[in-house]
């Protein structure tokens, strides 16, 4: 906390100590009671306390969650999400329960309607929340599922406060940024720890310190540091740039970033410094002195070969030990168990084979648009000890006359998800090539719908077969909205979001990959396979290998006579993690590796065939 004068500082310290004494006297160590008081301004009634179901008089022990905030300075895109996930991984590897939350300062209620060129991929959680792509990093690192509570936007905060005001919950008081918006932010942060009983809640604050959009979040952090200093920690990620002309690292941007944070009343406890070069002891000492942190709290975050190196680099900097020390927790008796992680890295960096996968999509200029797919291919490759080389191909560049030229060097082809008509023709031409040339093919969401359209046109000979999303009055709507969806007008109201069950057909490649009869996968789409055409498809060689047991909707299709032609309406990439690569991606990459040995001879066999 920064005080403008010594008198003000003394008064503030006195009030702070009094408030802490009130907390201790009134609530003791009951953290949930503290949260109830902080959020509602009222002491909880006895019925609000957790009790033991077998003995109502005995309270259930509540874990005292620690809250770690990760802010960023100097520049965006420094990797707050990766640093947060790496710290979480190290704490998890020591046996602690950890979750990570992202606070996004934009006014959108969620990223669901954002263009992928704006924010990259929209990641979907099992409970159907459309969230920031950083939640994908959290899940891939921790192998723990997230939910809507793990991603909060300014839009959701304001919407919640305005709804409460409309319901009269503020009893006629003037609704303001402080305390109402900041209280709502704190409620969203603290309730995640209280309800789920985590040891640590790591909260990443999007944007850069100084952005006008993130000021309420920084103020909420200041208040939490003031209210619960022993349970709250602030990590500030900053940049120490290297000036080639001068031949030295410069600490001034970091000093100014911390100074700006101090102006808002927040003293960072730990500085994580992104850098291209090693930080000398002199640089660390200088940063510590001018930014008012301990020398061991200046953590080097040097550029890494892969994001999966970062947890090990952070461990070598003793990042987790410094965090535990500052929160008054013991660390000497535990060591992070990263055996599985190191094995994954060893396979990833020392592959025994190479395979080239073509990723065909309409947003390939920004690779973060398909972040989960790219990482899923990496996970599968490491599992098979193969290096997966991804060739990013814009679907608008593919035409009937150039498919052979563009696609012939690929061992496998993946057609990516998307919305809208742009690039559809290129995806359909790609699928024709993969089907006819026996190249392993994996279609995801819109990729499956394009596979259905291609088969309808070229095998069933249904002229102008299409999706009603693209061509509303097509004579053969092989992809269509369900009848109950057609009356819904709100954007997103017709979406199938979150995890749904799927029963797999025995003897199919899908069943072989999963090894189970029933699965659950996440969806994000409006349009479905039109069941009226299913018998035509199955009698001509494309079968429904997976169906929803409740609605009967087709979830997966495949061609049994093809070496590997599988497509899913759901998004398997959301579920792939370092510790548990997704079985469909493993099966697809394995088929592509197998195809590589025969791929070179295939172009010669078809050299006289028009593509």
d(CA 515, CA 276): 45
Which one from 139, 469, 555, 573 is the annotated catalytic residue? Answer: 573
**For the stretch 581-599, what's the b/e string if a residue is b when 16 or more beta carbons lie within 10 angstroms of its beta carbon?**
bbbbbbbbbbbbbbbbeeb
d(CA 173, CA 163): 14
CA-nearest of 482, 480, 437 to 456 is 480
C-alpha neighbours within 13 Å on the C-beta side of residue 194: 19
Question: For residue 453, what are the CA distances in angstroms to 94, 382, 443, 477, 563?
Answer: 50, 33, 12, 9, 20
Place of tokens 């060893």: 346
Which one from 445, 521, 555, 582 is the annotated catalytic residue? Answer: 445
571 labelled catalytic:
yes
Asked if 216 contacts 155 with a C-beta cutoff of 8 angstroms, the reply is no
Helix (H/G/I), strand (E/B), else coil: 98: strand
130 labelled catalytic:
no
Rg value, the chain, Cα: 27
273 labelled catalytic:
no
Asked if 448 contacts 568 with a C-beta cutoff of 8 angstroms, the reply is yes
**In sequence order, what DSSP letters do the residues of 494-536 get, joined into one string?**
T-EEEEEEEEEPTTSHHHHHH-SSEEEEEEEES-EE-GGGHHH
**In sequence order, what DSSP letters do the residues of 212-259 get, joined into one string?**
GGGHHHHHHHHHHHHH-GGGEEEEEEEE--EETTTTEE--HHHHHHHH
Which residue stretches of 270-318 are H helix? 281-291, 310-316
Residue 368 CB contacts under 8 Å (≥ 6 apart), including other chains = 116, 120, 121, 133
Residues carrying an active site annotation: 445, 571, 573
């Amino acid at each position: 906390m920064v005080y403008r004068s010594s008198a003000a500082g003394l008064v503030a310290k006195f009030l702070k100590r009094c408030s802490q004494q009130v907390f201790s006297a009134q609530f003791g160590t009951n953290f949930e009671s503290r949260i109830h008081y902080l959020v509602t301004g009222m002491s909880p009634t006895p019925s609000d306390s957790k009790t033991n179901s077998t003995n109502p008089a005995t309270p259930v022990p509540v874990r005292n969650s620690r809250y770690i905030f990760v802010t960023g300075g100097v520049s965006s895109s420094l990797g707050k999400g990766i640093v947060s996930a790496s710290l979480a991984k190290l704490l998890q590897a020591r046996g602690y329960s950890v979750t990570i939350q992202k606070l996004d300062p934009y006014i959108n209620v969620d990223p669901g309607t954002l263009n992928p060129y704006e924010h990259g991929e929209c990641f979907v959680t099992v409970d159907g929340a459309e969230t920031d792509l950083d939640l994908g990093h959290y899940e891939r690192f921790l192998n723990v599922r997230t939910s809507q509570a793990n991603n909060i936007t300014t839009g959701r905060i304001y919407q919640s406060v305005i709804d409460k005001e409309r319901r009269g919950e503020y009893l006629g008081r003037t609704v303001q940024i402080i305390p109402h918006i900041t209280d709502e932010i704190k409620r969203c942060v603290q309730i995640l720890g209280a309800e789920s009983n985590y040891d640590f809640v790591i909260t990443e604050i999007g944007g850069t310190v100084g952005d006008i959009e993130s000021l309420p979040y920084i103020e909420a952090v200041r208040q939490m540091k003031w209210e619960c200093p022993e349970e709250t920690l602030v990590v500030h990620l900053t940049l120490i740039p290297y000036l080639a002309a001068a031949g030295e690292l410069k600490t001034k941007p970091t000093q100014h970033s911390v100074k700006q944070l101090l102006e808002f009343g927040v003293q960072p406890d730990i500085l994580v410094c992104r850098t291209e070069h090693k930080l000398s002891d002199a640089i660390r000492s200088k940063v510590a002195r001018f930014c008012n942190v301990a020398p061991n709290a200046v953590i080097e975050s040097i550029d890494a070969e892969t994001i999966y190196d970062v947890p090990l680099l952070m461990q070598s900097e003793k990042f987790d030990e410094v965090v535990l020390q500052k929160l008054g927790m013991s660390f000497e008796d535990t060591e992070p168990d990263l055996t599985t992680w190191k094995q994954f890295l060893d396979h990833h960096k020392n592959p025994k084979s190479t395979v080239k996968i073509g990723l065909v999509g309409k947003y390939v200029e920004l690779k973060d648009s398909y972040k989960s797919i790219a990482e899923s291919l990496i996970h599968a490759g490491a599992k098979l000890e193969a290096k997966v080389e991804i060739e990013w191909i814009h679907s608008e560049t593919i035409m009937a006359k150039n498919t052979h030229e563009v696609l012939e060097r690929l061992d496998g082809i993946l057609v990516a998800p998307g919305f809208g008509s742009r690039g559809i023709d290129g995806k359909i031409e790609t699928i024709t090539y993969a089907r006819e040339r026996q190249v392993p093919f994996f279609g995801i969401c819109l990729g499956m719908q394009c596979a259905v359209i291609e088969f309808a046109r070229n095998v069933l000979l249904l002229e102008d077969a299409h999706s009603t999303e693209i061509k509303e009055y097509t004579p053969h709507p092989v992809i269509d909205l369900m009848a109950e969806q057609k009356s819904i007008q709100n954007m997103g109201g017709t979406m199938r979001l979150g995890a749904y069950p799927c029963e797999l057909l025995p003897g199919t490649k899908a069943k072989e990959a999963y090894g189970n009869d029933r699965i659950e996968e996440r969806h994000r789409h409006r349009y479905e396979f039109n069941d009226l055409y299913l018998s035509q498809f199955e009698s001509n060689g494309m079968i429904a290998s997976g169906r929803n047991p409740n609605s009967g909707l087709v979830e997966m299709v495949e061609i049994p006579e093809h070496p590997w032609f599988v497509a899913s309406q759901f998004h398997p990439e959301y579920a792939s993690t370092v510790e548990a690569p997704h079985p469909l991606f493993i099966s697809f990459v394995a088929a592509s590796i197998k195809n590589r040995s025969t791929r070179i001879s295939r172009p010669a066999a078809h050299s006289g065939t028009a593509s």
